């Protein structure tokens, strides 16, 4: 039996996200694709403090405050949306932030543009690290944190994407919100929905999956991976779900095989690298609906959805919700590549 919302054991939370976000019908794009298409606009959780990470940070930063932190440490790619959202949210709550960002050569870091510029404007300190160091980031986090403690500071470490058993509660709340959204539509919950989204660190998927089980949301959740592969995400998403179930003693019938669906094959040239056909589709969506997908996540997930539908128009059923998880600032440093497809 799904729990009523009062029974969902949410951890403490701070208000950061402008929610509920709208669920918009996209009839022009839907008609092209031969489906009933909606978009859940989590790109509208804020202006600079925007995207899916804001929902997760509501829970993680509540814990940081509870722990008496004065500085948060987190990590990501050079143009990380998560790092930018953390920098802004931390400042808003009166905390400092330090970001470990990945770049091939830390002695010549990327230019001050897109998310990086916002990180700096929000007062964040950036520590550039190599891809090899990034693999050992937990050691670097510990080293930084212990140096900070020695100088009397109170550091709090937020993992990549705030994708742990705590941050993922942000997407349990989103599942509850979607349940409300669907009740407002004709056909309501009677016909199943497919929810399609981009997966990067797995927390959004885990939160939606656990949230659907907790609320009884009648939807199939499809995760399109933008890095690594299907096996990696079955493990990553599965572990977060299992950690949530154990840590909060949730009585749920969950299994990796039954509850996780990863559609692989759309990483393209690699994480944060674009193909012209992906950018062309971002252009198509922008000029058809006035909505901007991002090149790193939502553009690739949307591209994957379109390709799968071209193979089989019925593969996701008749009603699809594309979850727009944000990322617009990652589009800005791609001007030269975008100029090629206009
Ligand atoms: C981080 C991010 C994602 C992926 O979410 P995860 O919870 O890390 O899997 C998707 N879209 C955008 C725009 C993001 O910044």
Distance CA 311, CA 5 (A): 39
Written as six digits, the tokens of 319 are 């009603």
Report strand pairing: 125-129 vs 96-102.
parallel
Distance CA 42, CA 33 (A): 22
Is the CB of 97 inside a 6 Å radius of any atom of ligand 1?
no
| Ligand 1 atom with the shortest distance to the CA of 201 | 8
CATH fold for domain 53-162: Rossmann fold (3.40.50)
Domain 23-51+164-339 bears CATH identifier 1.10.274.10: no
User: pLDDT tens digits for 230-258?
Assistant: 999 999 999 999 999 999 999 999 999 99
Q: Which long-range contacts (CB under 8 A, 24 or more apart) does 239-244 make?
A: 239/202, 240/163, 240/164, 240/165, 240/168, 240/202, 240/203, 240/206, 241/206, 241/209, 241/210, 243/164, 243/165, 244/165, 244/168, 244/169, 244/206, 244/210
Helix axes 203-215, 230-247, angle to 10 degrees: 50
User: pLDDT tens digits for 302-338?
Assistant: 999 999 999 999 999 999 999 999 999 999 999 999 9
Position 1 scores a pLDDT of: 44
User: pLDDT tens digits for 40-86?
Assistant: 999 999 999 999 999 999 999 999 999 999 999 999 999 999 999 99
Sorted by sequence, the CB contacts under 8 Å of residue 91 that are 6+ apart come out as 97, 122, 123, 124
Does residue 188 register a pLDDT over 70? no
Mutate which of 21, 49, 52 for ligand 1? The one with the most ligand atoms within 8 Å of its CB, which is: 52
Mutate which of 49, 85, 326, 329 for ligand 1? The one with the most ligand atoms within 8 Å of its CB, which is: 326
Distance CA 164, CA 158 (A): 9
Q: Cβ-count burial of 249 within 10 angstroms (0-12 exposed, 13-18 middle, 19+ buried)?
A: exposed
Assessment of whether the complete model's pTM goes beyond 0.95: yes
Distance CA 315, CA 310 (A): 9
CA dihedral 192, 196, 202, 204 (to 10 degrees): -70
Sorted by sequence, the CB contacts under 8 Å of residue 287 that are 6+ apart come out as none
23-51+164-339 and 53-162: identical CATH topology = yes
Is the CB of 295 inside a 6 Å radius of any atom of ligand 1?
no
Position 192 scores a pLDDT of: 85
Is the CB of 137 inside a 6 Å radius of any atom of ligand 1?
no
Is the CB of 322 inside a 6 Å radius of any atom of ligand 1?
no
Give the residue numbers marked as catalytic.
Answer: 80
Position 190 scores a pLDDT of: 67
Is the CB of 74 inside a 6 Å radius of any atom of ligand 1?
no
User: pLDDT tens digits for 291-304?
Assistant: 999 999 999 999 99
Asked if residue 316 lies in contact with residue 308, where contact means CB atoms within 8 angstroms, the answer is: yes
Q: Would you call the peptide bond into 20 cis, given omega within 30 degrees of 0 as the criterion?
A: yes
Helix axes 169-183, 52-66, angle to 10 degrees: 130
| Ligand 1 atom with the shortest distance to the CA of 327 | 13
- What is the helix (H) or strand (E) element at residue 246, kind and residue range? helix 230-247
Percent of the chain with pLDDT over 90: 95
Q: What is the mean pLDDT of the chain?
A: 96
Domain ranges of the chain: 23-51+164-339, 53-162
Of the CA atoms within 13 Å of residue 78, those in its CB half-sphere come to: 18
């Amino acid at each position: 039996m799904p729990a009523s919302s009062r029974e969902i054991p949410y951890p403490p939370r701070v208000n950061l996200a402008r929610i509920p976000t709208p669920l918009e019908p996209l009839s022009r794009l839907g008609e092209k694709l031969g489906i009933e298409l909606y978009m859940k606009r989590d790109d509208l959780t804020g202006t600079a403090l925007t995207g899916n990470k804001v929902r997760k940070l509501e829970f993680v930063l509540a814990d940081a405050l509870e722990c008496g932190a004065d500085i948060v440490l987190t990590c990501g790619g050079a143009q990380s949306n998560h790092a930018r959202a953390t920098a802004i949210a931390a400042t808003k709550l009166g905390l400092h932030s330090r970001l470990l960002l990945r770049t091939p050569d830390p002695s010549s870091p990327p230019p001050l543009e897109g998310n990086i510029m916002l990180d700096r404007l929000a007062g964040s300190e950036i520590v550039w690290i190599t891809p090899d160091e990034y693999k050992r980031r937990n050691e670097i986090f510990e080293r930084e944190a212990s140096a900070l403690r020695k100088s009397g500071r109170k550091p709090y470490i937020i993992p990549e994407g705030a994708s742990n058993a705590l941050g993922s509660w942000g997407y349990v709340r989103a599942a509850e919100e979607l349940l409300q959204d669907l009740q407002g539509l004709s056909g309501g919950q009677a016909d199943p929905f497919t929810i399609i989204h981009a997966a990067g660190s797995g927390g959004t998927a885990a939160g939606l999956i656990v949230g659907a089980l907790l609320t009884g949301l009648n939807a199939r959740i499809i995760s399109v991976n933008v890095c690594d592969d299907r096996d990696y995400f079955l493990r990553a998403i599965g572990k977060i779900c299992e950690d949530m179930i154990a840590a909060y003693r949730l009585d749920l019938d969950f299994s990796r095989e039954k509850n996780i669906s990863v559609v692989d094959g759309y990483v393209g040239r690699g994480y944060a690298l674009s193909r012209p056909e992906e950018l062309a589709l971002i252009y198509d969506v922008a000029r058809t609906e006035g909505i901007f997908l991002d090149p790193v996540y939502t553009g690739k997930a949307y591209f994957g959805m379109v390709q799968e539908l071209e193979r089989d128009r019925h593969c996701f059923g008749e009603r699809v919700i594309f979850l727009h998880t944000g990322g617009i600032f990652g589009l800005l440093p791609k001007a030269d590549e975008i100029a090629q497809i206009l």
